[in-house]
Structure 1
């Protein structure tokens, strides 16, 4: 039984935030009913995004609605607040929030708590590359994934309808920066989709398109091992995709990608997936951080030297007790985040009930990556797979991990239907400007008018 009423604040609604709250909700069911406990989840978006499915959502293999999990439905015993935590004063157990309501008034509100779970995740790690802020496209949210799909199809529409070879060449050149999971999987799925879509354009052939992967290191997909990384490079190049290793993007100003090896590519598409960094919120707390800006944690997922504070996932530096090398930390990936959340939820309950805490220990089992339909690479328990078996394992693994039976059934149904019917190649870019037609009819300027849109049409 909980010793006293506990107000638990969970910051973030991603893997760690959702699964921790779900665990607490199950373990503290009786306390929640009696009012002895209260769980508040603060997240900018009231849904959890299953990021491994973003490439397939971008390629149209999965509906965007099935890549996200509505938190209010899953966390029925919790209070879900759509907002952003701006700072945390843990010494006084207070967090400063900005919600839609407070932002309209230009203010914030304070939320008191007893136990803090810090899981805001990470944000894209960008560099001061000229033109990146104006022309770059991220790939971390479902909105970005669908926007990128629409953008790629729109570029094919532009190339098909113009007689200007310079515009056509720029529209059909797609540059992806970053050779990790996000970059390689997004490139593989979208190239596969565009190659299929080209058959419906009378004047575009797959070989007319240029797909370029830029990676600063000497290998891609380090998670699947060096051998599988080399295989992936070979496979991508076989598909006429340029893989440029030890190369950096120097500039993308004026819609020209300038690389460190001197190559220049006029392009209307630069996708930035060059890593992540800890959420800026962490710097606005009074909790101890490591050199990389993550919260220092113990193997029990408590914040080092701090009572009533917990963290896990991308935001936390968690010791890897299974590693042979002392001082090594767990990798910031979904495999660890989901398992850490389970231990974290249990440990909060243990702490509230005065019980001993559990140690988080999980040996990394391997990685899988998709390179497009029926193509993939994997290294699991030391075994290497490639091609169709790796692609099938990728789908089977992530289907087993996507939250809720509802989502599993819907994703599986979509995959089965995709095997019976042709791909959808419709661009719904107009969804990004739902009032465009009405504004035009009302006498205003179209939002995509170059005079009103400094970035120009996407």
Structure 2
């Protein structure tokens, strides 16, 4: 017999969208109005925009991992695992816990915000030899790896090995790739005085992208400024170029160049979580088709947003326009989805999501930064001030704000350090993208049906 008397709200994913939704639900809903569950493998929200600063050592990993349990209204049950399938008809979500066990989580309302996974385009050798930059573990490991290359190059007497270890390739000319290349180049530049045996001219950073422009979101002027800043710092930019194949000690570009390197960092785009494919619902560019209220048509109580939902961009007044999967949109969508879930619970009308971008900030390390806010373009120190103020204000807890500000201050005063922690074993992109765990729509139905047969009283 089912003894549940309150509606069950399940939120999948603890990114910007999922956390914003949960926090608003906790604030507005009374404890007896609904039971809240958040399915996520980690009990923290990762502040992704500052991940390049973790990779470069400006920030410690813990400073941008914002605890989900630090909330005055905290009452959400956290289910530590990854949602690998959803049966929309049975209203059951299959979750693989961090122990490997499967949990069949029933719901009355589900908010899908599982984030995204790295898109690799099936390039030979990429998953085995490239590094990603989407998780805290990847950023921390990448920092260790870059410092390891400096150590090995410094100790080597082989000119070919030394040159290969001091070449670094970053693929992806968006925010993640550009900021990662800039911040890590800054790290290797500052390291030179600690490695007197290294020839500075041997350290080479390559930033490549198949697109014709670097960070097109910046616009013509700021985009050109970004290229000038990176070029001045010795980063070689190649546009209209991608990777043909990747090996452990060299990378082949699509223009025929072969670059000897032990460091290939892949940030060339993401795609919606494989969870979306398990629903068997209509998609738009890989994301779930949703209404302006972020509801999935034809399925009561199902909402999708962020990287998972193709949310119509009503602010653009352009047919077919959908909101880009940015943190700025995700945070605001999370609040609107929470309001719409509550409206559905209370038999009130839902409201559509409408939001116009307030601007953008790009931190290129040191005092190099670019910003466009409220139509005003900034460069250098003013842009750096705006960028850090924006990120600092967006951090959800005072503890996170204190840690980040402390790290920034220490780094400004003491400079970078070049310590390898050695906490992680050798890993590449394939070791962080656990896409094989997801079920097909047929497998989801089979699993849920088998569970129902074993537990008829569920």
Alignment of 1:368-447 (within 5 A): 368-428=361-421, 430-433=422-425
Cross-structure match for 1:25: 26
Q: Name the CA distance, whole Å, in 2 between partners of 1:165 and 1:147.
A: 26
On the 8 A contact 2:116/2:272 being kept in 1, the answer is yes
Alignment of 1:228-307 (within 5 A): 228-290=222-284, 292-307=285-300
Q: Name the CA distance, whole Å, in 2 between partners of 1:76 and 1:25.
A: 7
Secondary structure in 2 aligned to 1:9? strand
What displacement does 1:208 show?
2.1
Deviates more, 1:323-332 or 1:367-376: 323-332
Output one character per residue of 1:11-65: Cα deviation in whole Å (capped at 9) or x when no partner: 111111111111101111x3x2x3x411111112222110001011111111110
In the superposition, the TM-score normalised over structure 2's length comes to 0.89
Q: Name the CA distance, whole Å, in 2 between partners of 1:232 and 1:202.
A: 30
Residues 1:217 and 2:211 are matched in the alignment: yes
Alignment of 1:164-175 (within 5 A): 164-175=158-169
What displacement does 1:415 show?
1.4
Q: Name the CA distance, whole Å, in 1 between partners of 2:132 and 2:407.
A: 26
On the 8 A contact 1:223/1:366 being kept in 2, the answer is no
Deviates more, 1:254-263 or 1:55-64: 254-263
Cross-structure match for 1:60: 57
> Paired residue for 1:84, among 71, 82, 85?
82
Output one character per residue of 1:330-367: Cα deviation in whole Å (capped at 9) or x when no partner: 11100100011111111111111111212211111221
> Paired residue for 1:338, among 331, 338, 341?
331
Q: Name the CA distance, whole Å, in 1 between partners of 2:58 and 2:64.
A: 11
Q: Name the CA distance, whole Å, in 1 between partners of 2:218 and 2:247.
A: 34
What displacement does 1:218 show?
0.9
The number of residue pairs the alignment matches comes to 422
Secondary structure in 2 aligned to 1:410? helix
Q: Name the CA distance, whole Å, in 2 between partners of 1:97 and 1:339.
A: 26
Q: Name the CA distance, whole Å, in 2 between partners of 1:381 and 1:221.
A: 19
Q: Name the CA distance, whole Å, in 1 between partners of 2:150 and 2:56.
A: 14
Q: Name the CA distance, whole Å, in 2 between partners of 1:386 and 1:264.
A: 35
What displacement does 1:386 show?
1.6
Unaligned runs of 5+ in 2: 428-458
> Paired residue for 1:97, among 76, 95, 106?
95
What displacement does 1:200 show?
0.5
Secondary structure in 2 aligned to 1:110? strand
Deviates more, 1:182-191 or 1:233-242: 233-242
In the superposition, the TM-score normalised over structure 1's length comes to 0.89
Secondary structure in 2 aligned to 1:257? strand
Deviates more, 1:70-79 or 1:384-393: 70-79
User: Taking structure 1 as reference, are residues 226 and 305 closer, same or farther at Cα in structure 2, changes over 3 Å only?
Assistant: farther
On the 8 A contact 2:9/2:37 being kept in 1, the answer is yes
> Paired residue for 1:192, among 186, 195, 210?
186
Output one character per residue of 1:394-445: Cα deviation in whole Å (capped at 9) or x when no partner: 11111111111211122112212222223222111x2114xxxxxxxxxxxx
Secondary structure in 2 aligned to 1:331? coil
On the 8 A contact 1:278/1:293 being kept in 2, the answer is yes
